[in-house]
Amino acid sequence: MRLYSENYSPFSAPVRIAIYAKGLDIEIVAPPGGLRSAEYHRINPLGTIPCLMLDDGARLPESSAIMEYLEERFPSPALLPQAPEARAQVRLLQRIGELHITTQTVELGRLTDSVARDEPGMDRLTKIVRGLATLQNILSGDDYAAGHELTLADCQLAPALFRVPRAVGAYMNRDLIAAYPRVARYVETSRRHPAVARVLDEMGTASV
């Protein structure tokens, strides 16, 4: 199997954490010709990363679909708990990371300076603040988002939160994460996991 990914990509980072945590033998490559190239669009017509090419040549884009597939195909070590309620909590944390943090920081980065200070930018910031406030209430308080073990929630949340200071720094002169102590602690404890640390390092050294 082969994963198309870039180090900077906050949507690809969760998939790479899952791959590293499970110790999977999956080749990780940049999109040939670049993300916007015709060559890559022939591989993935959505034109997005991440995209997993399966052994039979089938293409699986969309980070959450890829992570669900990897979890089902390679269930050990598990990144989802057993009980339905605990699984629902992991998926809720994943969704908050994807929709309320990552998507908003990416969109904020796309806005020009003037627009960002206007309504579209404020709307993104509001969503991030609501996401952080929700995390403050529902993070486990243990080292990982849903308890003592790494789950798919951490795969999503650690890279999502990693991007927040830089994304909001241009528009807000305060440490937003520090305003949410449980979130701030989680940022520190989650990166003790080697798979998380590895991917955050990759993101930190990426040029884009």
176 belongs to the binding site for ligand GSH (CB under 6 A): no
Binding mask 37-66 for ligand GSH (x = CB under 6 A): ----------xxxx-----------xx---
How many residues contact ligand GSH, by CB under 6 A? 10
DSSP H or E stretch at residue 52: strand 51-53
Binding mask 109-148 for ligand GSH (x = CB under 6 A): ----------------------------------------
Q: How far is the CB of 13 from ligand GSH (least distance, A)?
A: 9
Q: How far is the CB of 174 from ligand GSH (least distance, A)?
A: 26
Among 5, 7, 9, 151, binds ligand GSH (CB under 6 A): 9
With contacts defined by CB under 6 A, name the span among 3-11, 131-139, 172-180, 195-203 that binds ligand GSH.
3-11
User: SS3 breakdown of the chain: % helix, strand, coil, rounded to 5?
Assistant: 60, 5, 35
Nearest to ligand GSH of 63, 190 (CB atom): 63
10 belongs to the binding site for ligand GSH (CB under 6 A): yes
Strand partners, 51: 4, 61
Kindly give, in sequence order, each residue whose CB lies less than 8 Å from that of residue 131, ignoring residues fewer than 6 positions away: 96, 97, 99, 100, 101, 104
26 belongs to the binding site for ligand GSH (CB under 6 A): no
Per DSSP, the three-state class of 187 is helix
For 202, counting Cβ atoms within 10 Å of its Cβ (0-12 exposed, 13-18 middle, 19+ buried), the class is buried
Nearest to ligand GSH of 38, 83 (CB atom): 38
Q: How far is the CB of 141 from ligand GSH (least distance, A)?
A: 28
What single DSSP character describes residue 96? Answer: I
How many Å apart are CA 148 and CA 166, to the nearest integer?
Answer: 28
Selection from 198, 195, 204, 200 nearest residue 70 by Cα: 195
Residues lying near ligand GSH in the complex (CB under 6 A) are found at: 9-11, 35, 47-50, 62-63
